[in-house]
Structure 1
Amino acid sequence: MTVNDGTATGTTHGSMADAELVSTEVLLAKPKRVVREDLKMPDGRVIDWYFMDTPDSVMVVPLTNDGRLVFVRQYRHNLKKHCIELPAGAVSAGEDPAEAALRELEEETGYRLAEGEELVSLGRFYSLPSETNKYTNFYFARVTWDHEPILDNEIEAYFDMSVVTIPAADVFSRLAGEINGMETAGALMLSQRYIAAA
């Protein structure tokens, strides 16, 4: 509940922010790390909490010289459908997020940062906070095509991935239609001024 000044009021149960961590169990270590924690609330009640412990990820909004945005079309098994999304992926341990963004861009699409251009950071935002601790670093890049995509043989080989380019002038009219992923929609909105300046 909130009051007029925008501050939150507490409850008699206390807050999860003040809970005591009783135990942690890794239910699944790979390929996605699933964790269960027992938390003792301020009122004495013990609850279990499940979440996916996820490394940071990156997503890139790539724009070509001729005003087209570069997307990846891939099959998402959880949704049982093909989706059009921006190039994205996980940040490896010790890897700089900007380097991870350029790596994922090249691996998934074959596009690279155009000569003389710099990667533009759009910020770091969390996703699905009730299910995971995932943060995504968003970037905008002016790009040029270099080579065919290089997909990994572990899982991407099964995603039925292909590169799709869409004119920047058309992309916002496709939101909530064929482009309906929240991260992709958010990244496009964050980069709207760069796209409009193209």
Structure 2
Amino acid sequence: MSSVTSLLLPLATTAAEEEGGSNFLVPNATFLIELLAFGIILAILGKFVIPPINRAMTARQDAIRKQFNDLESAKSDAEKAEHEFKAQIADARHEAARIREEAREQGAAIVAEMREQAQAEASRIVEHAQAQIAAERQQAVATLRAEVGSLATTLAGRIVGESLEDDDRSNRVVDRFLADLETLETSQTAGQSGAQ
């Protein structure tokens, strides 16, 4: 631009000197040259400078619009992902609560089953112990009968002064003695329960 002005300026000064001065109201050659240079500069700017600037500005505006659109879509995607995450957390909490409840129910069922097994085992042990006690009692009664019978026979023989070696007789005496003993024991326990 300055090169065009520097080329045209000497021409304008020589034309002004030839005419004999410059008249402000009437355009002279300098004014016309400056007007011509301004038009050329405007044409050059309009043809070569302004279109690339406009293209760059349009491209920049398009890029900004695209970034805004991308930002909006990213924001909506983030909100969607957040909602999905919250839904998954809620589902996981419900699932954990369900699993805890199932575990609690299974634990209660196991405890009840173990309690039943323990009660059954305890009942079996008690029945076995009662059967064993009954058997031992029968054995003790049989042993006691034999020993008491022999002692009673010997003692009665000494008191009476004759031998009571007859087995049938001694067995009857022993049985009667033990029956009397059981009757006495039964009446004493009935008397104690009535007194309480």
TM-score, scaled relative to structure 2: 0.16
More strand by share: 1
More helix by share: 2
Rg larger in 1 or in 2?
A: 2
Higher relative contact order (CA 8 A, sep 6+): 1
